[in-house]
Structure 1
Amino acid sequence: MAEFNLNILGCGSALPTTRHLPTCQIIDLRDKLYMIDCGEGTQLQMRRMRIRFNRLNHIFISHLHGDHCFGLPGLLSTLGLLGRTGAITIHAAKEIKNYMDPILAVFCKGLPFEVKFNLINPHQHNLIMEDRSVNVYSIPLKHRIAACGFLFEEKPREAHIIRDMVDFYKVPVKKLKDIKQGDDFVTEDGEVIPNSRLTTPATPPKRYAYCSDTAFNPDMIPIIENVDLLYHEATFGEDEALRAKETFHSTAAQAAEIALRAKAKRLVIGHYSARYENISVLKEEADKIFPDTILALEGMVIPL
């Protein structure tokens, strides 16, 4: 079971190339899958990467540009062909209904599962989804249309039981859950055994921030501060800084500057413009500001 892995299915920008696919990522957290954006080719990439369709229950769409959502109709249709019965929830701005309702009515009639929509405000930082494993928050971005990123905050885990100590004090099985959650143990003789003697601290929860597409936007820094992993678009290099500004995108150097100011532990860049046949130049520019930047590539799996 994956503890917390990021799968890169596509990391190109709007113009399709043979080098990169449109944007899509899947978070694999405690054996649950959460999709972020769904560009064309998503379901084929899921096949190539051996990602199980039936574990996917939530899809987060950052904004309504085609390279981030044109894969949705095909994916939903395939889920129907595979016999899915459980509901799937799409988290996106209200405009998603204008796009998806006609498609569902014409091409996805009779799906054996319900498609739910959680309509979010991309201009606000809010908690938009919560389950037993994770809280997901919106991150307002700065793009040509309303767009938001997503912050995935893993929920705290339980402490680890020290098996030898539990056996030594003859702790009943029914008490283990309470001890994992911090309780002390009282023996039959009334002796209080401190929790610290029975457990080791839980693995610290991880945080992942996804920020694509956006112009340079320091306003996001308080939201993503100290994240374990930051994905930030780097559509252009410094040679196209003016183009980046005009199209509300970022350069690799600007992505690195955000990571540096936010004190992110690691940075992944992606959403490469089709003009860059060699994306190593983007890594070189980012490395000067934020060393050891990771270049996103299709098929990459990054453990948190």
Structure 2
Amino acid sequence: MRFEVTILGSSSATPVFNRNPTAQLLNCNEKIYLIDCGEGTQHQMIRYGMKASKIDAAFISHLHGDHYFGLIGLLSTMHLNGRIKPFQIFGPEPLKEILDLQFKYSDTILRYEIEFIVTTADVPKKIFENQDMTVETIVLNHRIPTTGFKFTEKKRQRKLLSEKLEADNVPVEYYPLLKRGLNLELPGGRLILNEDYTRDSDEPKCYCYCSDTLADGSYLESIRNCTMLYHEATFQHELLDRANLTHHTTALQAGQIAKTVGATKLLIGHFSSRYKTLTPLLEEALTAFEHTELALEGNTYII
């Protein structure tokens, strides 16, 4: 099962040369989900060979423009390209009003249905579930109501030991029952013990996305023991006062958070436009957490 994230934008506030505002694509078992949608997201998708028609839903963390200004263009393009499949949007309630006004004054009636699911930044909540994963909100501390998102795989069925099954002539029609963990008694009384013919599936993985937030520790329980943590790291720690004033996080703080919650891997992003090279931010985070990487645009990271 594929569980990976592709970075489309990693800049904060304003685009800079070779860096775009925040946007990511999450692939969970070949279903594609958009996480935030900054200006230029469509161009980045074209650049990296991603098709908008494959996106099933968008998760918008908050209403600062660098996290959603690309959404109206993306929705319009899908309309013009003939999309008829419904599209889900998870985001703050005022976003629906913004979209409705845009379509009203452009006299646009979409060919497809938008299902809008309101997120709230009060307590963590499960907002989405299908056969592959669940999605919960992470309540963050930013200047306006903001949520992160926790994407958690569903536990898969047990894996069959195919060679042993074939060698012992276990009929194929019993395989689905074995995947469910059942012991079997075949016609004639032959006993098939599940543990002899299957093994447990891998433990579910978890991707936590923390967009914009003050590093106040309030959300640590929501992201504890995640497989991969994406955390904003807007400034170097020498600008801690600036980070606190704007309710952002430094690269050092992001590394410290990853270590505190027991994350397996850390991606840092949402870089201030003041940084022309990102190496100092990476080096700073590495001093606190050695399994840190930069969220580089065009790169896909296996969770």
Normalising to structure 1: TM-score of the pair?
0.96
Q: Which amino acid aligns with 2:60?
A: I
Partner of 1:184: 183
Q: Provide the secondary structure at the position in 2 that maps to 1:218.
A: coil
Q: Distance in 1 between matches of 2:69 and 2:234?
A: 19
> What is the aligned-residue RMSD (CA, Å)?
1.3
- Structure 1 gaps of 5+ residues are none
**Superposition deviation, residue 162 in structure 1:** 1.2
Q: Provide the secondary structure at the position in 1 that maps to 2:218.
A: helix
Give 1:122-133 correspondences, 5 Å limit.
122-133=121-132
Q: Distance in 2 between matches of 1:189 and 1:26?
A: 52
Give 1:145-294 correspondences, 5 Å limit.
145-294=144-293
Q: Distance in 2 between matches of 1:159 and 1:47?
A: 38
Give 1:4-43 correspondences, 5 Å limit.
4-43=3-42
**Superposition deviation, residue 108 in structure 1:** 6.5
Contact 1:123/1:148, CA 8 A, preserved across alignment: no
Q: Distance in 2 between matches of 1:81 and 1:189?
A: 62
- Structure 2 gaps of 5+ residues are none
Q: Provide the secondary structure at the position in 1 that maps to 2:20.
A: coil
Contact 1:77/1:108, CA 8 A, preserved across alignment: no
**Superposition deviation, residue 260 in structure 1:** 0.7
Q: Which amino acid aligns with 2:59?
A: F
Contact 1:34/1:59, CA 8 A, preserved across alignment: yes
Partner of 1:297: 296
Q: Distance in 1 between matches of 2:152 and 2:97?
A: 30
**Superposition deviation, residue 121 in structure 1:** 1.2
Q: Which amino acid aligns with 2:202?
A: T
Q: Distance in 2 between matches of 1:105 and 1:7?
A: 33
Give 1:47-126 correspondences, 5 Å limit.
47-107=46-106, 109-126=108-125
Q: Distance in 2 between matches of 1:175 and 1:109?
A: 53
CA distances 1:233-276 after superposition (whole Å, capped 9, x unpaired): 00000121110000000000111111011000000000000011
Aligned length: 303
Q: Comparing 86-95 with 51-60, which one deviates more in the overlay?
A: 51-60
CA distances 1:104-133 after superposition (whole Å, capped 9, x unpaired): 223361221011100121221000111111
Q: Comparing 181-190 with 60-69, which one deviates more in the overlay?
A: 181-190
Q: Provide the secondary structure at the position in 2 that maps to 1:95.
A: helix
Q: Distance in 1 between matches of 2:79 and 2:191?
A: 56
Q: Comparing 212-221 with 248-257, which one deviates more in the overlay?
A: 212-221
Q: Distance in 1 between matches of 2:32 and 2:187?
A: 44
Q: Provide the secondary structure at the position in 1 that maps to 2:219.
A: helix
CA distances 1:176-228 after superposition (whole Å, capped 9, x unpaired): 21211111121222132111111122122110000010010312111111111
Q: Which amino acid aligns with 2:30?
A: D
Q: Provide the secondary structure at the position in 1 that maps to 2:187.
A: coil
Q: Provide the secondary structure at the position in 2 that maps to 1:281.
A: helix
Q: Which amino acid aligns with 2:217?
A: P
**1:255 and 1:108, CA in 2 relative to 1: closer, same or farther beyond 3 A?**
farther
Partner of 1:46: 45
Q: Distance in 2 between matches of 1:136 and 1:68?
A: 19
Q: Distance in 2 between matches of 1:147 and 1:130?
A: 21
Q: Which amino acid aligns with 2:98?
A: Y
CA distances 1:124-171 after superposition (whole Å, capped 9, x unpaired): 100011111110000000000000000000001111111122223433
Q: Provide the secondary structure at the position in 2 that maps to 1:151.
A: strand
Q: Distance in 2 between matches of 1:45 and 1:163?
A: 42
Q: Provide the secondary structure at the position in 1 that maps to 2:109.
A: coil
Q: Distance in 1 between matches of 2:280 and 2:181?
A: 50
Partner of 2:142: 143
Q: Which amino acid aligns with 1:296?
A: A
